[in-house]
């Protein structure tokens, strides 16, 4: 609805009564009222007054209430990006919980939670363990056993990717490695081992959907 030709500003009520007799002043004050307070039903700009905009500033920092266009900006405050393939609800939920995760930054559980959120997968993180040499059980040096103990400050991340098409593998592997590099303590080293579902008739049996024949480069 447009502003009527006879409409006058409510700001006249804050002035001495003598000023309300001047219709020109009432129309003149409409411009200030629209900018500062906003006019209900106005089709002009701005549609919201400065008072309303300023009062709504706290909602910009609330991931559950901020406008959609502010989500990427809000993510920048916590030094992370939002995945483009996430639904808006996922993006808001992630931002609402990321600060509490930062309190545990550098811990095993924090990395597991971030990998779970970003990839939708269930990662496994094994920290350095001394595995004795056992023929037929643990018998590959540097893979499943060590001589003279495991290396210090070392961990291994294993993620099973159930949809092993090349595009998915490449994207998930990039995300996992980037998150590990970002979140791990600087003095630690790691190995990343993506695994893929093998063919099992009746369980995983659709090539390109839920199983994989051969291998795909990491």
pLDDT tens, N- to C-terminus, the chain (218 residues): 345 556 777 777 777 877 777 778 877 777 777 777 777 656 655 566 667 777 778 888 899 989 898 899 988 888 777 877 788 888 888 888 888 888 888 888 889 988 888 888 889 998 866 555 566 666 666 666 655 556 678 889 998 877 667 777 788 888 889 889 988 888 888 999 888 765 555 544 555 555 545 544 44
The residue from 45, 80, 103 where one domain ends is 103
**Domain check: are 132 and 91 in the same one?**
no
Output the pLDDT for position 83: 77
Separation of alpha carbons 165 and 139, rounded Å: 31
**Domain check: are 208 and 136 in the same one?**
yes
User: Per the structure block, which two tokens stand in for 114?
Assistant: 């971030």
- Alpha carbon separation from 33 to 24, 66, 88 (Å, rounded): 14, 26, 35
Residue 29 is part of which domain span?
1-55
**Domain check: are 120 and 187 in the same one?**
yes
Domain count, the chain: 3
Question: Sign (positive/negative) of CA torsion 183, 184, 185, 187?
Answer: negative
**Domain check: are 112 and 218 in the same one?**
yes
């Amino acid at each position: 609805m447009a502003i009527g030709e006879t409409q006058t500003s409510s700001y006249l009520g804050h002035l001495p009564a003598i000023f309300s007799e001047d219709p020109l002043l009432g129309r003149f004050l409409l411009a200030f009222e629209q900018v500062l307070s906003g006019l209900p039903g106005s089709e002009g700009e701005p549609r919201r007054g400065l008072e309303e905009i300023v009062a709504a500033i706290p909602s910009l920092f609330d991931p559950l209430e901020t406008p959609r266009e502010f989500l990427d900006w809000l993510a920048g405050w916590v030094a992370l990006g939002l995945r483009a393939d996430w639904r808006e609800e996922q993006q808001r939920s992630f931002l609402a919980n990321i600060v509490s995760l930062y309190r545990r930054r550098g811990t095993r559980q924090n990395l597991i939670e971030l990998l779970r959120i970003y990839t939708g997968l269930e990662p496994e993180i094994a920290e350095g363990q001394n595995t004795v040499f056992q023929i037929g059980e643990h018998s590959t040096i540097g893979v499943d056993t060590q001589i003279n103990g495991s290396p210090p400050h070392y961990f291994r991340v294993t993620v099973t990717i159930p949809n092993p098409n090349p595009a998915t593998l490449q994207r998930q592997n990039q995300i996992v490695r980037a998150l590990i590099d970002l979140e791990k303590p600087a003095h630690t080293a790691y190995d990343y081992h993506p695994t893929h579902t093998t063919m099992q008739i009746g369980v995983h049996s659709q090539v390109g959907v839920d199983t994989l024949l051969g291998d795909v480069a990491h």
